[in-house]
Every structure is written in C-alpha cells, then in structure tokens.
Amino acid sequence: MDRTPPTRHPAGFRSALRTTAEKAASRLGPYGAMWITLVLGGVFVVVMTYLASEVYEGVTEDDGLAGLDHPLLAWVMSWRSGALNTAITWFTHTGGTIGMPIIAILAIITLTYRSRSWRPFLLIASSALGSLAMTIAGKNLFGRARPDRADAIPPYETSPSFPSGHTLNATAIIAVIAYLWFLELEKRMARAWMIAGSAAYVVLIGLSRVYLGHHWLTDVAAAWMLGLMWAALVVLAHRVFHTVRRVRRDRQAGNAPTA
C-alpha cells in the first residue's frame, strides 16, 4: 500500500498550499502537478548549478574553502596503503556508473513491491536523471582540472573535476531512496538507523573521491549541496502529488479540502 506522508505545515503555508492544490486538482491532477513541480525544479537546479560554479570561482579567487584542497589531498595521501587503496577503490565504485544504477534498480524493485505503486520508480528515476543533468552541466560550465595523476590512484578519470559526479549522483539518489524507505518504516529506531546509514554512505562516497585523488574537496562539497537540493525538490514533488490527490478526493467526497 502506498503510504501518504504526514503533512504538517504552519497555518499560512497550509492555507496557500490548499489554495494551490485546489487549482492544481482542477486543472492538472496529481500526476500533472508532480511533473510540473519536477520540471520547474529541474530548471531551478540547472540555474543553481551555474551559480554554484560562479560561487566556486569566487571562493577559489579568494582562497577560501579551495585553500583546503591541496593541504587535504596531501594529508590523505599520507594515509594511503595498498590494502586501503584497494578497499576504497571498490567502495567508491558503488557510487559509480555501474554500482549506483544497481542500487537504484534494487531499491525500485523493493519499494515498488512494498508500496504497490509506480511512484518509487518515478521518484528514483527523476532523482537519477536530474543529478546526471546537473553533473554534465556543471562539468561543461566550469571545466575544472582534476588533481594531477601523480597524486591519484588508478583507474584514472578524464572528465572535468567540478562537481564530483559520484558524490552528486549518490547524494541525490540515496536521499530519495532514504525518504521512500522512511515512509515504509514504522519503528522510530529503524528510521533513525536508515537515515544515519544513508548519510554515512553519502559522506564516505564523497571522501573516497578525495582520498583517491580523483576530486578536490570543493568538487565534493558542491556535489553534496547540489545533490541534496535536487533530492529536496523530488521530495517536494511527491508531497505536492499527495496534497493534490487528497484535495481531489475530498472534493469528490463533498468534504472540505484539507492540506
């Protein structure tokens, strides 16, 4: 059974959301409202990707956060060893072009079965496509060079460094998967462990990119920010869907709509 997330909003926001939902229910329907939210959110995130590259350039010029890039890389290089390098290389592949699609597909199959709904597929696929678009846009807009190959651990990568694609995609996809699992779990402790585990995985994927010398810290930090931003918009689209659907049901039943 598909679980409807609880909706608790301040009174002013609830009133505005109800009014908007009433209009959307009449003109678009729940799926239409969800897709409109995703499309507008996608445009917003592309703009934010461009702004993030501009902010990064300013940080670099001012030697702000970017001033940590070289010292941090030098520090993690001092921790390297053969066994650790192999372990982290295998781990980082779980967030790559093979590992992350496998995780996403397994999550889609499991959550679709549990919820008896196609929405896990729509939301996880949306998170993946959006994060991929941001990764491509960011790399093309900025074109930042990766750390020197002499400081990196093979296999080497040749695409631009900003933002970290592994980190951005893992952040967006895992955050949406965590949200959907949160709706399925009922025990508070299970939810807490799920959130903690998801957050730890995303953080470690980003740090693994720095450890391996494949990205700078600033590439990873921007990827975390953009990935969370896109995941939040996907979650918002899901909540808009449920609000519009609830309003439509209330109107059909002849009840006062509640958001």
Kindly tell me the burial class for residue 110, based on how many C-beta atoms sit within 10 Å of its own C-beta (0-12, 13-18, 19 or more): middle
| Catalytic residue annotation | 166, 215
Residues 6 or more apart whose CB falls under 8 angstroms from that of 133 comprise 42, 45, 46
Task: Label each residue of 220-238 as H, E or C.
Answer: HHHHHHHHHHHHHHHHHHH
**d(C-alpha 191, C-alpha 67), whole Å:** 37
Q: CA-to-CA distance for 22 and 46, rounded, in angstroms?
A: 29
